[in-house]
Chain A
Amino acid sequence: MGAGHNHQLYRAGDTLVHRLPPQCKLAAVAAFALVVVATPREWFWAFGLYAVLLAVVALAARVPLVFVLRRMVIELPFVVFAVALPFIGLGERVPLLGVSLSVEGLWSAWNILAKATLGVVASVLLAATTEPRLMLLGAQRLRLPPLLVQIAMFMLRYMDVIVDEMRRMRVARESRGFVARDVRHIPVIARSAGALFIRSYERGERVHLAMLSRGYSGSMPVIQDLSASSRQWLTAGMLPGAALVVLLGTLCGTLLVNGGLA
């Protein structure tokens, strides 16, 4: 059983957030992300309130800040892109610390950074409080395309098996004196990857036979009942609900102020 197991994102616990059925949490995070994306970039304090909401969830789930920060590395490519925007942006420019920056670029960068960060933190919290297996059962419950859910399920199950196979192939290569040092060795690696692909494909066929032998007829049977009570839906709905209140509140406020001025 190789290291690097697939539960790195999950943090075991028994809090209110952990206990919520996965489909409620999935739907809540998706709705929260929609509200965040719908918020105009100029409404700074709305974003601040969203961040406070997430902090409350993290607190309730007892997920420490360091845990969240470490897993936010996934956002890095977006950050790099966002940081580049003020330099390459067009239009009006402002000097900042001796560098001329595009105003439009700055706004875009802020927009991407703020929304992506909120979305990523929400997802990290979801993953930290929901076992991957349950997440997929939740997706199944939410009627996501069953084929996609099944593919993800098998990925979860066979990831370690395939990584292990990959490791054995590497050991076999190196046992015969092969060490990948420069580009000339790429064909060898590529052939290994090809062999791995064929092995995995054949395994897929065998697994399918095993499934047919136990009465599989195209859809996964429901084994674990994951029904959610309306109370659990309400609890999960508090996050996107509160975010929506912030959004609508700000909208009304802005309209009133603008209306008053006009």
Chain B
Amino acid sequence: MTSSLEVRRLAYAYPDGTQALFGVDFEIGRGERVALLGPNGAGKTTLVMHLNGILTAGHGTVTVAGLPVGKKSLKEIRRRVGLVFQDPDDQLFMPTVREDVAFGPANLGIGGEELERRVKGALDRVGMLEAIDRPPHHLSFGQRRRVAVATVLAMEPEILVLDEPSSNLDPASRRELAEILRGLDVTVLMVTHDLPYALELCDRALILSGGVIAADGPTRKILADADLLAAHRLELPYGFALR
């Protein structure tokens, strides 16, 4: 079985010479939900930008369901990798929810009834079908984040990559989003430093620190290792303890 995502010896330096990634290695199997943990400035966002070819690797490879990321495969790669950005106002740029969710599949050349089916299906999966004709800026923050997830689900991706999915959400929206993510039948890579959320949703966690994968294992085990967390500027919130 091919894995959903395979990253091999990925290294990247910004044009100004700052090295951000120093050889990242990991693999995510189909259907897995994995948390990518790391302090600010660890290179998480840089890594995410490589997964759908927005940044091109200086060295190493990224393979999505057997297809290597490269100039020629860009269109298919962007269909396979659904990126949900941190600020839903960046993700939702069309005048209505319907048009926004349709944007991705329409760029893939899908139209007519199939487009309508995808839009409604994706909105239904995140419980936002009734908002289909509303402008995104009239929705609450939690609702916007759910619509943002729908915009990439409509492209029927191989892997869903979420950048800080729980940020700025109130506890109820946070729980609702968790329920939705748990119910999706898709591979998920969740970038976060919300450790309880990672534990709640992902069985496996990676720690990206200093541009390399510093740890890879069961989330519970990683979060229980206080010394490991401290070494990478990660901490459980006050009052939490794992054993």
Contacts and interface: CB of A to CB of B under 8 A. Distances in A.
A binds B: yes
Interface residues of B, number: 34
Given A157-B94, A215-B75, 9 more contacts: A153-B95, A154-B93, A206-B85, A207-B93, A214-B78, A214-B104, A216-B103, A221-B103, A224-B99
16 contacts: A133-B95, A153-B94, A157-B93, A157-B137, A161-B89, A206-B85, A206-B87, A209-B49, A209-B85, A210-B93, A214-B78, A214-B104, A215-B155, A222-B111, A223-B103, A224-B99
Contact of A221 (B83, B91, B106, B152): B106
Q: How large is the interface on A (under 10, 10 to 19, 20 to 34, 35 or more residues)?
A: 20 to 34
B52 interface: yes
Contacts of A221: 102-103, 106-107
Contacts of B90: 203, 206-207, 209-210
Describe A's contact surface by its main secondary structure: helix
Interface string B108-147: 1001000100000000000000000001111000000000
A67 to B, nearest CB: 22
A212 B94 contact: no
Interface in B78-92: 78-79, 81, 83, 85, 87, 89-91
Interface in A130-178: 132-133, 153-154, 156-158, 160-161
A132 B104 CA distance: 23
Contacts of A207: 90, 93
Interface of A: 1, 132-133, 153-154, 156-158, 160-161, 203, 206-207, 209-217, 221-224
A210 B91 contact: yes
Contacts of B135: 157
